[in-house]
Structure 1
Amino acid sequence: MDQNKYSKIAALSTVIANMIGVGVFSSLGFQVIPFESGGIPDGFSILLIWLFGGLIALCGAFTYAEVATTLKRSGGEYIYLSKLYHPSIGFASGWISLVVGFAGAIASAGLAIGKYSAPALGIDVSKGIAILGFDLSYQKIIAISIILFLSLVHLNGAKTGGYVQNILTAFKIGLILIFCFAPFFVSSYIAPDTAIFTPSDTSLSIVLSASFASALVWVMYAYSGWNAVVYIADNVENPVKTIPFVLIGGTLIVTFLYVVLNASFMSVASFDEMAGQEDIGNIVALKLFGLQFGAIFSGVFSFALLSTMSAMIIAGPRVSEQIGSDFSLFKLISVKSKGGTPVYAILLQAIISIVLVLFSTFQDLIQTLGITLSFFSLLTVIGVFIIRKKYTADEIPVKTWGYPITPIIFILATLWMIISFAMMDPLKIWYSVFTILPGILIYFVVQKNNK
């Protein structure tokens, strides 16, 4: 076994950890709000949207298995879009991964940890102290501290990082299983007005509405990370076998957990209790286990979210590393440690994540991330049709299962989500556009002087 490569289990745990994070523990709070406010307050519709999100991610996973094993390099969309379309498009996706995709996800996970840890620490996370002229809440102080700690862990090398990742992911899956089945054993805490999961009179109209498509932004953010293994393709053992296994297996496992977990949450807490709340796990834990044990579980939730942040710190710097390898101006961020990790890329990502913690809100981060990341995933999935024209059958080691139906499902569903969200909240779309454009402009500036 190569000590500088991630095993199949470590790669699988990285994908699962990337997926299971802030999204599933916060999205429900924005789905149960009133329909006129963009919510889908119907138990059947909510479970259906989580199942639908898993289907979309699975169609994407089938397609990415072909793209990743054919193009054979770490870096994810940065590499794929550069080869399939134009280097400027690939660079723009790499830029997004650097400044928003992974750094934003790390920042949102840090803010969630800060919020979840409040009951366990017995503090009001909205309060804080002034540091260097900044009025920092305890929530942001906790987030920044965790980002720094985990970045230092992964600077020690792939072997250490993979070992820590396996432990954190196993812990998180164990916690989720507890919450999936706890309502069956702690029935005295179940609310009398919780969701009904059979179709209601309004279910069909909700499912066909723009609100349903818009709510997919939250769901697809929760599923984002199903493609995490492609960012470390060069760093996994036996990529042709490992990548499809991890992409498809990880997505199936997480889809099952998400549907069961959301059903569990809605069986315990009422829509009114969860509406607009970010820390659904805390609300459910306090109802299930009471104040004392609920506070303990809040601390456990915080620890479980470390797995998500750790996985992002593994995958994100690999994109920056590839940019550094391709452009002399950014050569420094491609430098690796003896343990096989890109040192300066990890440090750069940590700095950007901390800046986002300081100046962004949780909800803005999630919605902007959901739309922007979906756009580049969409381009990558469309790229499978280009691969079929550019490469011979012998050059494609893994074929897309269900081609061309599965990529078409992903493309249509993603377009439906983006267009519906743009109609409901056009300002967030412009945020995404103005985040992508600098990446394209920077490419043409640095490309002229590249050696």
Structure 2
Amino acid sequence: MQSEPNTHASVASETADDTEKLSAGNRLLGLPSATLVVAASMIGAGIYTTSGFSLASLGSPATVIWAWIVGGVIAISGAITYGGLAARYAESGGEYLFLARGVHPAAGMMAGWVSLLAGFTGAMALAASTFESHLRLWSSPLIDAMPQGAFAVGLIVIAALIHATSLRGGAWTQDAVVIAKLLMIALFLGLAFSVRSLWLGLQEPALPEPGVVEQAGATHWWPGALAFASALTWISLSYSGFNGAVYLSEQIKQPRRNVPRAMLLGTTLVTVLYVLLNLVFMYLPSADQVTGQQDIAARTAESLGERLTSQGLAIGQWVGPMTRVMIILGLITSVLALTQTGPRVYQKMSSDGLMPAILRGKSAETGSEINSTETLDDNGLSGSNRQTVQNDPLPRIAIALQACLASVVVLTTRLSDLLGYLGFTLSLCAAICGMLSLWVGRKSDLKIQVWGHPWVPLLYLGGTLTVLSLTALRSPAQALVGLGTLAVGLVFWAAWGRRNPIK
């Protein structure tokens, strides 16, 4: 077992070099598009829903802001950590690829099933469900007549059709919508800060934080720490897309250079936007308007419109509809990005023999547009007995599988259930990759380079593990379900993966 990761990793580097050379002419996404993929993956349902819940849990607007700052620092350190892994393993596949090549195929299988059940399927269902809830705020006979879940499922199907039709066309569509979304966020922030003197939250007295109780001169901070960890778990879901570019490495030009840069640029941009948005969410309306409310962004927009109208600005009456469009665009791009990135994980697993071959899509011999290759050993992973596998840039069956699973989740799960489960489960998987970065990075023969190593990966790992531990203490049921998701991957490895290698 001790030599196995070295074997996998040393050949993986050689494999990635071959892949990059063979497929360079077919890589369609540059640094701007890759950065927009990261932004689209991050700005989705979480930023528009979690702060109301966090305020109810923490009780203090300032503490909520700090939670978002802490989450941003952890995400930026994660982007740097993943950047080193992406430069080392320059293929599509994300956590599955890193763990399968760097640790063991079984570890990759567990990460792959986390991606299938939580990372993409669950996150897509969350974004689509939130999209529908905001769309239904526009009451009309047509909208009211549609059954619950119809619009969410419709969005998932449309996103699947877009990305199953054309790689370039899907990227262009997504880029255009993401740019429109970012411009609308900038406009919203500009309008909000233009009336900062009228923010209601700044005029309210500070509230004590729940769980922080003065007793005989002593402060009991432990319940507050648990509440902070729980809020940070919800918030981590909003940052979870910081690694979006690693799932598309084989479609990105110069991936060793552009994938790490895209993650760092995209994550930093989104962190700044998140902090600014939460300053508005926490302080522009009164606390009782938004505490515990799922639609905190819409309620804040309503309050902003009232402030602008009171200043005689006609644009005030349009702030509510504009914000709703901004939110809807953000959720659309989130679903588009998840549809674009997720199926590449299942395709990579299929290429390695860990999922049915049909998920791989067409081969070059049968009409694929791309000639990216992987070299596989007799265990279905990088090794000595090499076999070339041609990957399809449009894995339509994998796209359809994810769309179907996400639609089922939309129709069977509540939003609040998804938030806690996704935050814990994705953080758990990401923490394992942080461990891999530290473990691989200390081996000179593997030549992994992470800026600030080992301190930046340690910051990412320490922050993530702290949140996970405190959340497990506060919500053991969520922790058990998250661990159960990993166990599903291990079961499928035992039942399918090791019995179906690519020879």
> Which TM-score applies when normalising by structure 1?
0.89
Matches within 5 A, 1:368-407: 368-392=421-445, 395-396=447-448, 399-407=449-457
Residue number in structure 1 paired with 2:18:
none
The residue number in structure 1 matching 2:172 is: 163
- Which has the larger displacement, 184-193 or 368-377? 184-193
Residue 36 (structure 1) aligns with: none
2:94 pairs with 48, 72, 76, which one? Answer: 76
In 2, distance between residues paired with 1:196 and 1:83?
54
Question: Are the counterparts in 2 of residues 213 and 421 from structure 1 also a CA contact under 8 Å?
Answer: yes
Q: Give the 3-state SS of the residue equivalent to 2:483 in structure 1.
A: helix
**Partners of 1:197 and 1:307 in 2: how far apart?**
36
Corresponding residue of 1:217: 233
Match of 2:32 in 1: 9
* Post-superposition offset of 1:6: 1.3
Q: Structure 2 CA distance, aligned partners of 1:388 and 1:300?
A: 41
Shift of 1:78: 0.4
Superposition deviation, residue 99 in structure 1: 2.0
Once residues 415 and 317 of structure 1 are traced to their aligned partners in structure 2, the CA distance between those partners, rounded to angstroms, is 28
Other structure's SS at 2:451 match: coil
Corresponding residue of 1:152:
161
Q: Report sequence identity in percent.
A: 29
Tell me the number of residue pairs that the alignment of Structure 1 and Structure 2 aligns: 434
SS in 1 for 2:233: helix
8 Å contact kept, 2:45–2:238: yes
The CA deviation at 1:87 is 0.8
Q: 1:261 aligns with which of 277, 284, 289?
A: 277
CA drift at 1:77: 0.6
* 1:360 pairs with one of 413, 429, 442: 413
The residue aligned with 1:450 is 501
Separation in 2 of the partners of 1:329 and 1:430?
25
Output one character per residue of 1:328-360: Cα deviation in whole Å (capped at 9) or x when no partner. Answer: 751111115648221111111100000000111
Write the deviation string for residues 116-152 of structure 1: whole angstroms up to 9, x where unpaired.
1122344798x766xxxxxx41xx1110011101110
For the Cα contact (< 8 Å) 1:328–1:450, is it kept in 2? yes
Which amino acid is 1:18 matched to? Answer: S
Structure 2: 5+ residue stretches without partners: 1-23, 214-218, 307-315, 363-367, 371-392
Q: What's 2:349 paired with?
A: 323
Q: Which moved more, 1:14-23 or 1:194-203?
A: 194-203
**What is the CA–CA distance in structure 2 between the aligned matches of 1:210 and 1:329, rounded to whole Å?**
39
Q: C-alpha root-mean-square deviation of aligned residues, in Å?
A: 2.7
| CA shift digits 1:353-382 (9 cap, x unpaired) | 000001111111121111111111111111
Match for residue 46 of structure 2?
A: 23
Cα distance change, pair 219–85 in 1 and its aligned pair in 2 (3 A)? same
Deviations 1:240-298 (A, max 9, x none): 21012111111111111111110011222222211222222211122222595324532
Contact 1:4 1:235 in 2 (8 A): yes
1:49 paired residue number: 67
SS in 2 for 1:6: coil
| 1:116 alignment counterpart | 134
Counterpart pick for 2:188 among 166, 173, 179 = 179
| Contact 1:67–1:387 (CA under 8 A) maintained in structure 2 | no
Change (3 A) 1:152 1:196: farther
Cα drift, residue 392 of structure 1: 2.6
Paired amino acid for 1:282:
A
1:84 CA displacement: 2.1
Matched residues in 1 for 2:205 and 2:170: separation?
42
Q: Distance in 2 between matches of 1:317 and 1:196?
A: 49
Which structure has the larger Rg over C-alpha atoms? 2
Distance (Å, rounded) in 1 between the aligned partners of 2:224 and 2:209? 14
Matches within 5 A, 1:239-388: 239-289=255-305, 293=318, 294-327=320-353, 330-336=356-362, 338=369, 340-388=393-441
Q: Unaligned 5+ residue runs, structure 1?
A: 34-38, 130-135
Say if 2:113 is the partner of 1:100. Answer: no
Q: Which moved more, 1:193-202 or 1:177-186?
A: 193-202
Partner AA of 2:185 in structure 1:
I
Alpha-carbon displacement from aligned partner over 1:73-127 (angstroms, at most 9, x marks no partner) = 21011011112222111111111111221011111000111111122344798x7
Distance 1:226 1:359, change over 3 A: same
Whole-Å separation in 1 of the counterparts to 2:331 and 2:474: 30
Matched to 2:163, the amino acid is H
